[in-house]
Each structure stands twice: as C-alpha cells, then as structure tokens.
Structure 1
C-alpha cells in the first residue's frame, strides 16, 4: 500500500529527529586521516546504528529486515543526505549487490547463510573486472574448472573496491572457454579466506588505496557456492549490476545536492587573500545558478527513475542516463570547486574516509570524480547505450 502524504510527513519527522540525535557531529573530523582499523571500526558501528533504527537495509524484503516502501526510502535517503550522515562505504556491495544477487538467484541455503551475516557486518567485494575485461566485461578470462564437488579458479581481478577488508567476493569466472563470451561464464560466492588468494591494494592519485587487485591461484570453491546454473553467470550478473540503479543513485544525487552544493556555495562566499569574494562575480553567480539547476534536475531524474522502476515502467537506458548525468555533473562541479579554491585547494591532502565524492576537499574530489566517468562503463559507452537501447538508433558497424 502506498503511504499517504500524512504518513510520509510523520515518517520524515521521525527520520529527522533520529538524524539529529544519532549522527555523530564530529564524524568528518574523526574520519579524516583515520587509520584502516579506525575506518573499519567506525563503518561497522555506523552500520549497526542504522540497523537498530531499521534504516540499514530498507530496500530488502520485510522478512530479512527491510520492507520500506519506495516512497519511504526516498524520504530516508533525502534526510540522511540533508543531515550529512556518513555513507555505508564498506557495506555498500554487501547490502546492495550481494543481497540483490542472493535474493534473485541464490538458493535458500545461500540466503540463510549470508543475509543475516551481512546484517551482522559481513563485508563483500565485487570480483568482476579484469585487466583485459573492464567495459567489455564478457571478455573476462579468469578460469574455473570443475573437479568433483569443487571448482578450481585461477585468474586476476582488478578495481575491486575494498577487497582488503572483504570477507566474501561476488566472482565471475569462465567455466566454458569454447562457448560464446556471454554463455560460458559462471557466478560464484568466494570466501576471501580461501588459500591461493592474494589481495594487493592499488595506491591512487589521491593517496588512498580504495581499489585493489585480486590474484587467484588454484583457489578451490565448493560447488554449493555456485549461484544459478553453470554457465549462466552473465544473466545472474545483471541482477548484481541492476542494484546500482535507482535508490543508490538517488542517495548519491541527494548528497551532491546537499553537502556538495552547500560547500561549493561556502567556497564561493569565502574571501580570498585580497578580501574578494568569488560569489560577487557575475560569472561565478551564473555558474552557481547553472549548477543548482542541474542538481535539481538530477535529483528529480533519480526520483522519477525510482518511482517508474517500482511501478514496472523503467526503460532500458534509464540507468545509463542517470549514471551519465551524475558522473559528469560531479566532475564539473568538483572541477569548479578546485578552480574557486585556487592554490590553497591543492594543499588539502586528506578527506573523510566515510564520506562520498563531495567532501569539499576539491582537488581530491575532482580526481576522485574520474571513478565515475570511467569505471562501470565510460561516458562514451553510456551514450552508446542511450542511443541504441533508449533511442533505437542503429548499432555501430563492427570495426568502426
């Protein structure tokens, strides 16, 4: 049943009051320059705080601890963003990608084993991309061969966010090397404590090591940890990737439109060394007005996608439209913040570890924004999807 406006107003009031009393006021300071151990401890504690309130997995079915309507989830994410709540960075893959996969294609035993464990803090990583299979994911070469009741896996994964902390991995591997690319892939749940796994963090331009490489050398996976039938992993993976749509993007858009835009306004209002305020410049005011229009449009676009997806009316290119709009707006906005910040912005070398891509550390934010316009399908690929699947344009000839 769709909540009535009065019900949503009351719910919004409850969330606001909870945010005022439970969001740590100093979390940004505490998480700036935090050690890996401090980061993990904070993330796990914040997850449990949200869990106790019923806010950690609102999109899950009620029997597993969720059950909120889409309208209520929209209100929840709007208020969390408005009150500058920390993000669930470590739990993101678990509560979205792993849960969506298990609920759509997992066995009853797999769901009973992992969904309660995720609520208790089990951390997951996504093992899809490879050095030669990024945007063309179907070209992956990590191989899995069946030996009795196990699969033996050898290969390499890259851009695995948070792999150094993960307990489990969503793994794609090729089980039939002779099948067409998308038809010979299987989907596994990999215990990251298995022998033969080597995780190597990649130091990024920002100084962080968010991404990792995962090397697999004769890693044994029980056949009971296969998700779906053998060689149907590509279809299962679409359930995983589908979790990146909708409410996850709405949350990011709300954060960009709240803290991100607010910090940009504050940066423009701050006087420089000569006492001049950029916001008094008509050109700067024009740019700010344009950004506000774009942010407002993005937030409306995300809400529309969520509501249409819930009613079964979403289109085949909607996710690409949202991803393209968010990623390129994030890049332009943080680039402008770095321009306004000037030389001083280049001296800010740390940002909160539990924050998003809009921390107000403008140069680091701008460098980090490239995580959105390249991985997960570049902007060029998103435009191709929009053209072919959304507008019905003819596919580009092979070799062009």
Structure 2
C-alpha cells in the first residue's frame, strides 16, 4: 500500500470517527447496569460493522479484508478518537472466528460467522480451578455417547460468560492419553441443560469473569472442532488471536487515551495551587512512560508487519504491554492522591485505562496472569527466543 493510499484511508476513518464516535459515551457508560452495557456494545458493534470496521482481520468474503497497513491505521485512529472498545464481542470476533477459520467445518462457519456479525456472543471455557497456566492439566471430561458427548466439569475465569450464547470449550476425551493428547475442542451452546454460570465479583466491583459448571451437558458430535483428541492443537489457533493486531490496538489505546488521562491528571492544580508535573520527579516519570509507550507502539507495529515472527515475539509483546500497563496505572493511582482512591466507578466500555486510577491499577494485574503469566512469558523468551536450557521438570 502506497503512502498516498494509506493516508487517504486514514482521512476516511478520521471523518467516520468524527461523526460516529459518541462524545459523551464515557459518562453514559459509567455506573450502568448489565443490560445497558450489553445494548450499548451491540449498538457500537453494529455501527462499526456497517462501516466495514468491526472485523477488519476477517477475510473479505466474510466482511473483512483490510490489509495489515489499513488495520494499523484503523486502530490508531479509533484510539486517537477515544472510541469505545468492543469489550463484549471480543472473544466472538477474535477467538471464535480465528478457530472457525483455521479448524472449523464449512457447516460450522456458515452457522456461526453470520450469527457473530449479527451479535452472537461467545465466551471461552479453557481455564479450570486446577488448570490455569497449565491448561493441559484440565480435568473436565467429555464422554462419547452415540453421536453426542456428555460433558462434566468446571471452568473458571470465563470472560463475559454471563452474556454469552456460545462457548469455546476444551474437555478431556481420553483420560489415558498424555495430557496434551487427550483433549478435544467443542462449540457449546450456553443454553444447553446442565450449564450453570456464576459471575465472580472482582475487587474492582465488576463481575466480568465467571465460573461455568457443567453437569451432564450433551454436546452434539457435529460441534466437535477438529479431530477428537486434537483439541490442544486447535486451541493454539484460538490463543493466537490474542496476539498481533489485538495487542496493537491495546497499545495504541494505552498510548492515546491512557497517556492523555495521565498527562491531564499531572496537570491539575492541587489545593495549594501546584501541579504534580511541576515536580521534577513526576515530570521525569512522565517522560520515561512516554518513551516506553513509544517503544511499545513501535514494537507492536513491527510485530504485525512481520510475516515470519520469532518464536518468542508474541511473549515479548505481551510481557511488555502488561507490565507497562501495571507501572502506568500504579503511577496514576499515586499521583491521583486521596481523590483517586475514592473514584470507584469506571466506564463499562473503556479499555484497561479509564482514568479511574485505582480500579485501573487493580485491573492491570489481570494482564500479568491470563494468557500465560509474566513468569511463563519470561520462560518462553528465555528458552525459545534466546535458546537457554529448558527449565528442569519436577518429577514425582
């Protein structure tokens, strides 16, 4: 794509944002109930879809087709214009779609992809109480009965499960096989008898995560994705959706809305008339964070443009983003003082940075745990990226 074509596309996106991004969405989405949040997310998804911006990473025949360069521009402009994030459809348009494109049948794609574009919501049933970072240790079972599977077990940390229509589910179909070889991958209708969802109230007051209890849940064999016992391989396609362009979008939002909130906070005069940024240490910290943000955005842009990324590149991006998010929100909570400690509401459709600094800081710890903890990311970087000796295995 030439510079002229890219800038023409950027001008189109800017004009669309100017006329479509609701200026007061943060205020209207603060403190709302679940029904209002869901309705807003569905409306905003429909707005983006009508413009061709909701699923730019999908193939053109399914409503996407934007080039990598165009996707970069799109996410840069959405972040610069402080557009709401697609929080609720995230698993649907990234994890579910990438799984269906890579390993689903034609029938599964024809059934679910149009439904996702119409507002179908998905959640992910991977983690369990005893299988978080070590996902291969899952114990939820799926027993073959005629042309169905009967599933029993429990899933944990299922984002948005309280609103989901369908679930990407991993279950063990061969308990005798090695851990990664006896797992199968299913599409589970959340309205199936035996499915119970319990929201988990978090320290921030939100209930974004849920537990899913499965009691003799019957899943048709046609909802199996990929071959039986090959679910671990299929799951890698799902997890791959968390990397690349989704990280670039998050980095752009942190560099735009997040940093603007921080600069504004440091520029406010206190009761004594002084501003935090007049303090040399605060000004130095702001400069350091801006430098780190510039590096993060450049790293993400280089990563998505690389057709052959290194084996540890995704871990480097994830580790850099999550720990920078933590440092930045920690600094915001410090500078905000007492007033920042009592602001306990945030916009439901914001990103991980909302300006409610204590809630943002508490929420930032989520990013150093799911999708592989920071310790696991460092292990991957050391072993796969730097070629260091593998970590010793504990034997019983």
**Above 0.5 in TM-score?**
yes
Which residue matches 2:53? 55
Which residue matches 2:69? 71
Cα shift readout 1:143-201 (whole Å, capped 9, x = no counterpart): 00000010000000000000000000000000000000000000000000000011000
CA–CA separation in structure 2 for the residues paired with 1:67 and 1:102: 17
Match of 1:207, SS state, is coil
Cα shift readout 1:221-276 (whole Å, capped 9, x = no counterpart): 00000000000000000000000010000000000000100110011110112111
Which residue matches 2:213? 215
CA–CA separation in structure 1 for the residues paired with 2:79 and 2:208: 22
Q: Which of 300, 314, 317 is matched with 1:322 structurally? A: 317
Which residue matches 1:346? 341
Q: Which of 354, 359, 373 is matched with 1:364 structurally? A: 359
Which residue matches 2:198? 200
Deviation at 1:397, TM superposition (A): 1.3
Deviation at 1:319, TM superposition (A): 0.9
Match of 2:290, SS state, is helix
Q: Which of 180, 183, 191 is matched with 2:181 structurally? A: 183
Deviation at 1:82, TM superposition (A): 0.2
Deviation at 1:374, TM superposition (A): 1.3
Q: How does 1:129-148 map to 2 (within 5 A)?
A: 129-148=127-146
Q: How does 1:1-400 map to 2 (within 5 A)?
A: 3-308=1-306, 311=307, 313-399=308-394
Match of 2:170, SS state, is strand
Deviation at 1:393, TM superposition (A): 0.5
Cα shift readout 1:78-119 (whole Å, capped 9, x = no counterpart): 000000000000100000000000000000000000000000
Q: Which sections of structure 1, spanning at least 5 residues, go unmatched?
A: none
CA–CA separation in structure 2 for the residues paired with 1:399 and 1:136: 14
Count of residues paired in the alignment: 395
CA–CA separation in structure 2 for the residues paired with 1:304 and 1:254: 13
Q: Which sections of structure 2, spanning at least 5 residues, go unmatched?
A: none
CA–CA separation in structure 1 for the residues paired with 2:368 and 2:18: 34
Match of 1:231, SS state, is coil
Match of 2:207, SS state, is coil
Cα shift readout 1:308-342 (whole Å, capped 9, x = no counterpart): 0xx2x201111110000000000000000000001
Match of 1:58, SS state, is coil
Deviation at 1:399, TM superposition (A): 2.6
Deviation at 1:376, TM superposition (A): 1.5
CA–CA separation in structure 1 for the residues paired with 2:92 and 2:392: 39
Match of 1:218, SS state, is strand
CA–CA separation in structure 1 for the residues paired with 2:370 and 2:362: 13
CA–CA separation in structure 2 for the residues paired with 1:341 and 1:159: 30
CA–CA separation in structure 2 for the residues paired with 1:273 and 1:332: 26
CA–CA separation in structure 2 for the residues paired with 1:206 and 1:275: 31
Please say which of residues 54-63 and 272-281 is displaced more in the overlay: 272-281
Match of 2:108, SS state, is helix
Cα shift readout 1:279-336 (whole Å, capped 9, x = no counterpart): 011111110000000000000000011000xx2x201111110000000000000000
TM-score by length of 1: 0.98
How well do the aligned residues superpose, as a CA RMSD in angstroms?
A: 0.7
CA–CA separation in structure 2 for the residues paired with 1:398 and 1:97: 31
